[in-house]
Amino acid sequence: MDDSDRIPGDSADGVRPARARGRAKGAGTGARVGPLSPVWAAVPSVVGLVLAIPAAVEAFGTAADARGPGYLVPLLFYLALLAGGYSLGRLAQMSLAAARWDVEAQDGVPSRRVMGAHSMHATWVAGVGGSLLLMGALGMWSALDGGISGLEPGFSMIVAGAVTGLLGMALGRWTTDRWQQHVEHDERLQKQARERRLSDPLGRIREASRDSRQDSGPSS
């Protein structure tokens, strides 16, 4: 996992607000295996792997003439959990982090890379859900055709795929909107602080001096 997959509460570097690096509360004080650690997000995928192995043995270890309708359905569910469990768990953690973030207490917002890290997981979860939905549609087609593809009856996979895909997209959209609200709140706080500084004659002088140093910094 690189820094782009870190969320506030994992470890400090790369997620603390730029204005208060080293001072943000809660951005680097959590244990490495805290509630927002990717270790917990990986649990569903590990469970999917553990369940998929015996399901695969059962599905493919049965003689072809003894296989009944839907013999692949449990295996596909476990494989979907294996493929999408981590991203779904990580997406839930990032949504929780966005909901719990306090701009004033943390003195700002994390980097945009950290705030947007959830989008990749949301896309992956939606893709896994779409794959399940497609398998379910093929199962219904097979059932109507009277053949045995192992995907019958398909309805359960359609429902699970649709719910998973919609959940991924909804969580992703909500998390994006929540971080945008924090960014706008942070910008308002900065504007108010600047206006307070400019209302003081000495503050205006300090502000002008700070701006001049910033302008001359790259060329010095």
How far is it, in rounded angstroms, from Cα 191 to Cα 200?
Answer: 15
Q: What is the pTM of this model?
A: 0.75
Give the C-alpha distances (Å, rounded to integers) separating 177 from 90, 107, 159, 173, 182.
17, 19, 27, 6, 9
The tens digit of pLDDT for each residue in 122-174 reads 999 999 999 999 998 988 888 887 777 888 888 999 999 999 999 999 999 99
pLDDT for position 12: 42
pLDDT for position 163: 96
pLDDT band with cut points at 50, 70 and 90 for residue 47: very high
Write out the two tokens for 99: 């909901």
Least confident of 28-42, 78-92, 113-127, 190-204: 28-42
pLDDT for position 30: 37
- Amino acid letter, residue 115: M
Per-residue three-class SS string for the chain: CCHHHCCCCCCCCCCCCHHHCCCCCCCCCCCCCCCCCHHHHCHHHHHHHHHHHHHHHHHHHCCHHHCCCCCCHHHHHHHHHHHHHHHHHHHHHHHHHHHHCCHHHHCCCCCHHHHCCHHHHHHHHHHHHHHHHHHHHHHHHHHHHCCCCCCCCCHHHHHHHHHHHHHHHHHHHHHHHHHHHHHHHHHHHHHHHHHHHHCCHHHHHHHHHHHHHHHHCCCC
pLDDT for position 194: 81
For the segment 191-204, the average pLDDT, to the nearest whole number, is 73
More confident: 209 or 96: 96
